[in-house]
């Protein structure tokens, strides 16, 4: 069966030395990424992994099963003769997309299969994939690559959902035990002018990308200025203290209605206790650090802050042009890791670090995703997918805005200049931040 999703096999072809060497390399990569998903769960209880804190989140055990389902359905189901699924009901419970699937907002009511059964499911599918890798047909490699990229997306979403779950607890439990030292003092924010002109936008298709990053095309940019770093907590606190949340002149009409309905008065995980601001993190509750970038703001909040600052949000094309001016290469897949590695979660930070005092454009792929003013839509000339397509991104291209960059919880090697994340204007659960821009006339 033809697989039409990915445009390139460069990542795999570069490593295809001979059958034995290639098989070991693919197996190590597969095991490494799959192991990282397990690593993210070792500090969680069974109860932590079974519930969802809001309709838009998913239980952690569902994330584990969903990534496994992808490999079973699209890799084993297509390329292993007479493959029998682990359980026929799993295609309904753990699938997503256009086909039949269980309602997302009800995933926490599925207490069975149990976590132990899902772990057995993961092991069963992993063993079958490793066996397939010993003699995998050429057309299966793009599916394997897509599955690994999707699992990395799922790893970030797992941490987002874990933070929302634990952050809803009034006792502010920590996900990991790691001391957070104060961030380095940041330099004053500077607006750097760029000439604009004709700009190449999008992925050239020479290595892996998602369909929404293509095709590469040209756009014209008027001269503009863009901030050298992200907005900090201290800068955003000035907006809060100036009664910015209550002043209608800064807010889009829908944003003002949302703010009023949801009683929003500060970023999602800010907590004011006895006139002192704190921030809930995956490390627990900590004093609000003025030098770290503001995180977990909606598009409405980002837009309002930009207006308060006499600025605006950049378009995604302005963002990509600026990022490409300092980082012209496209990162590839992550380096191989020890597949037998145990819990490494305490070795990572999982919280925005800050821009520091260095000069020049920076922080594009660190700390937080950045809201842009661009609506999520297909690029000009995008090809219509056929019945063999695995993902059909155009079905999600409505009522959402594009986010660019990466965050403190994005897996290593998963970010690139052309990567297009997206979310509704009300979303605050992603690690979202702000970079300002201005037009030059």
- Do 117 and 210 reside in the same domain of the chain? no
The DSSP element (H or E) to which 401 belongs, if any, is strand 401-405
Domain harbouring 242, CATH code: 3.90.1580.10
pLDDT for residue 335 is more than 70: no
Count: domains in the chain: 2
Starting at the edge strand found earlier in the chain, the sheet holding 421-423 runs: 421-423, 401-405, 369-375, 432-433
pLDDT for residue 391 is more than 70: no
- Domain enclosing residue 69, as ranges: 10-167
Are the beta carbons of 412 and 142 closer than 8 angstroms?
Answer: no
Are the beta carbons of 212 and 420 closer than 8 angstroms?
Answer: yes
- Do 95 and 152 reside in the same domain of the chain? yes
pTM of the model as a whole:
0.91
Last residue of a domain, one of 167, 200, 220: 167
Q: Is residue 181 situated within a structural domain? A: no
Q: Is residue 186 situated within a structural domain? A: no
Per residue in 266-302, pLDDT (tens digit) is 999 999 999 999 999 999 999 999 999 999 999 999 9
Domain harbouring 118, CATH code: 1.20.120
Q: How far is CA 63 from the centre of its chain?
A: 14
- Do 162 and 195 reside in the same domain of the chain? no
Per residue in 188-231, pLDDT (tens digit) is 999 999 999 999 999 998 888 999 999 999 999 999 999 999 99
Tell me which residue has tokens 């010993």: 134
Position 392 scores a pLDDT of: 63
Position 20 scores a pLDDT of: 60
Half-sphere exposure of 20 (CA within 13 A, CB side): 0
| CA separation for the pair 19, 292 (Å, rounded) | 48
| CA separation for the pair 33, 152 (Å, rounded) | 7
């Amino acid at each position: 069966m033809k697989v039409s999703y990915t445009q390139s096999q460069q990542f795999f072809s570069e490593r295809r030395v001979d059958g034995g060497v290639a098989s070991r390399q693919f197996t190590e990569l597969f095991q490494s990424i799959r192991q990282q998903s397990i690593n993210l769960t070792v500090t969680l209880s069974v109860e932590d992994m079974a519930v969802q804190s809001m309709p838009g989140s998913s239980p952690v055990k569902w994330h584990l099963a969903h990534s496994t389902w992808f490999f079973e359905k699209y890799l084993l189901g297509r390329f292993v003769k007479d493959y029998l699924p682990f359980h026929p009901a799993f295609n309904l419970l753990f699938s997503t997309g256009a086909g039949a699937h269980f309602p997302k907002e009800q995933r926490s009511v599925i207490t069975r299969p149990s976590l132990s059964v899902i772990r057995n499911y993961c092991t069963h599918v992993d063993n079958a994939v490793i066996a397939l890798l010993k003699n995998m047909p050429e057309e299966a490699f793009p599916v394997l690559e897509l599955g690994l990229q999707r699992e990395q997306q799922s790893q970030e979403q797992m941490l987002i959902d874990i933070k929302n779950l634990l952050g809803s607890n009034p006792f502010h439990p920590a996900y990991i035990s790691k001391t957070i030292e104060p961030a380095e003092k940041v330099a004053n924010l500077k607006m750097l002018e760029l000439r604009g002109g004709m700009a190449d936008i999008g992925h050239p298709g020479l290595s892996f990308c998602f369909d929404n990053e293509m095709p590469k095309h040209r756009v014209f940019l008027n001269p503009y200025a863009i901030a050298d770093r992200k907005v900090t907590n201290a800068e955003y606190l000035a907006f809060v203290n100036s009664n910015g949340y209550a002043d209608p002149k800064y807010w889009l009409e829908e944003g003002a209605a949302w703010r009023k309905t949801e009683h929003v008065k500060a970023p999602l995980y800010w907590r004011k206790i006895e006139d002192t601001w704190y921030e809930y993190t995956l490390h627990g509750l900590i004093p609000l650090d003025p030098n770290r970038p503001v995180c977990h703001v909606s598009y409405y909040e980002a837009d309002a802050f930009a207006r308060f600052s006499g600025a605006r949000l950049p378009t995604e094309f302005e963002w990509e042009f600026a990022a490409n001016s300092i980082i012209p290469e496209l990162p590839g897949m992550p380096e191989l890791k020890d597949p037998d590695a145990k819990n490494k979660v305490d070795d990572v930070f999982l919280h925005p670090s800050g821009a520091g005092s260095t000069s020049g454009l920076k922080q594009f792929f660190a700390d937080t995703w950045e809201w842009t003013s661009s609506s999520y839509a297909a690029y000009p000339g995008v090809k219509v997918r056929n019945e063999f397509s695995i993902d059909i991104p155009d079905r999600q291209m409505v009522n959402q805005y594009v986010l660019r960059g990466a965050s403190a919880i994005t897996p290593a090697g998963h970010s690139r200049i052309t990567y297009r994340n997206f979310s509704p204007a009300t979303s605050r659960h992603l690690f979202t931040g702000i970079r300002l821009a201005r037009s030059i006339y």
